[in-house]
Amino acid sequence: MSEPQDLAAGNFSNWLRETHTALKNDAETDVPCGECNACCRSSYFIHIKPNELDTLSHIPDELLFPAPGLPDGNVLMGYDEKGYCPMLKYGTCLIYDHRPATCRSYDCRIFPATGIQISGKDKVLITQQVQRWKFNLIEADEIKKHKAVQKAASFLKHKSKLFPPDELPGNPTQLAIMAIKVHDLFLEQEEAPLDDTKRVEAVITAGKKFDTQS
């Protein structure tokens, strides 16, 4: 069997800047997915917000259910027994032009960028795709930014017990996104590094600031 081929994830600094902007504006990402549809086949619950009226009008009501812990009107779409989104037929999204914002903004390159791993039998397809991405890391500045993103992710992962309940996302996707949002805090080699407790506070504050500026 042939080895899976690497995929060019692009210049890291450009990707980080574009991802930051997309996260701030809740905007669509431009992922060179090609023929891949692994994230549509990886047992993901798709969140749809109440204001996504066009999307909601294209999905049968029986496929939607209230999103736990979120205000009324927020719904989730589940997946079938194979882990496939019910809107995926013959490898194509039936509602592509009307797909949820969650699908439009999803970019699996957040995993190679942060070093956060996805696990589980139901995530094999997406894990294989994630392993293929390779970023361009040439300039000193982008190597520094990449290290900062990875340090942020590592801190969130290894110091999770220091965070108050509900301040740290539980799933790998949201954890990776948070690392990207707060990576600035990990850019510099401080002369007097913050202790872990102070750094946790700084991370929470930076995450909230990012969200309120969005």
Interface with ligand SF4 by CB under 6 A: which residues?
31, 33, 36-40, 46, 85, 87-88, 93, 95, 99-100, 103, 106-108, 126, 129
| Residues in Cβ contact with 175 at an 8 Å cutoff, skipping those fewer than 6 apart | 114, 116, 153, 156, 157, 168, 169
| Residues in Cβ contact with 52 at an 8 Å cutoff, skipping those fewer than 6 apart | 100, 101
- Min dist CB 177 to ligand SF4, Å, is 14
Our CB check for ligand SF4 shows the closer of 108 and 149 to be 108
Our CB check for ligand SF4 shows the closer of 132 and 199 to be 132
Contact status, residue 170 vs residue 110, Cβ threshold 8 Å? no
- Min dist CB 113 to ligand SF4, Å, is 12
Cα 102 to Cα 76: distance, rounded to the nearest angstrom: 10
- Min dist CB 5 to ligand SF4, Å, is 13
- Min dist CB 79 to ligand SF4, Å, is 8
- Classify burial at 126, counting beta carbons within 10 Å of its beta carbon; exposed 0-12, middle 13-18, buried 19 or more: buried
Contact status, residue 153 vs residue 86, Cβ threshold 8 Å? no
- Min dist CB 187 to ligand SF4, Å, is 27
Cα 40 to Cα 18: distance, rounded to the nearest angstrom: 23
Our CB check for ligand SF4 shows the closer of 115 and 144 to be 115
Cα 198 to Cα 182: distance, rounded to the nearest angstrom: 14
Our CB check for ligand SF4 shows the closer of 63 and 204 to be 63
Our CB check for ligand SF4 shows the closer of 30 and 139 to be 30
Contact status, residue 42 vs residue 85, Cβ threshold 8 Å? no
Our CB check for ligand SF4 shows the closer of 11 and 160 to be 11
- Min dist CB 195 to ligand SF4, Å, is 37
